[in-house]
Amino acid sequence: DEAQSDKIAHLRKMGMQAIRQGKVGVVLLAGGANWRLGGGDLPSACSSRLLGLPSGKSIMQILCERIRRIGLLCQAEDKRSIKRTSIPVLVMTSRLTHRNVLEHFEANGYFGLFPGDVIFFDQPVSPVMDMNGRLLPQSLGGEFAQTPGGTGAALRALANS
């Protein structure tokens, strides 16, 4: 349908304009420790084995490359400006994944993204309680067991960082 194509072209133009104006950012969730998926020592987002692609790319690499490409497309469409299109990329990590995720970005040159556009923030944790409301002790020592806030806590964590 021509009407549908026109609508898609219009929405794409509006989206690219919003990106060039700095009104769009991306939040990537990288707090998963990869225990359930059996991917080994690396967090889910950093594991190249998780997707099993011939390229060996991690989920994080694929996402960052797409963000970089969108920035380049925005820049190419704006013929009046020679300025780099900045797309803030906010990466939520957890206490378990922060170091590995940061090292993954550093070892791969931030996947072509401008390092100043990439901001890491911590996923909140909450204490674990039993059915009677008592704090559960941590099995590996420490004070009390804690659990990550999950994806639902991403906006709260971002606001508090």
Distance CA 48, CA 57 (A): 5
3-state SS, residue 51: coil
Q: Which residue has the tokens 């939040």?
A: 27
Distance CA 52, CA 33 (A): 18
pLDDT given for residue 142 in this prediction: 63
Sequence-separated (6 or more) residues with CB below 8 Å from residue 96: 31, 33, 43
Distance CA 142, CA 4 (A): 58
Distance CA 15, CA 19 (A): 6
Q: Which residue has the tokens 């970089």?
A: 68
Structure tokens at 101: 């995720």
pLDDT given for residue 86 in this prediction: 92
53-108 pLDDT, tens digit each: 889 898 899 999 999 999 999 888 777 767 788 999 999 888 878 899 999 999 99
Question: Does residue 130 or residue 118 have the better pLDDT?
Answer: 118
CB of 23 within 8 A of CB of 80?
Answer: no
Q: Is the predicted pLDDT of residue 125 greater than 80, yes or no?
A: no
pLDDT given for residue 66 in this prediction: 96
pLDDT given for residue 37 in this prediction: 47
Residue 135 gets which letter from DSSP?
Answer: B
pLDDT given for residue 150 in this prediction: 66
17-58 pLDDT, tens digit each: 999 999 999 999 886 655 554 545 677 778 777 777 889 898
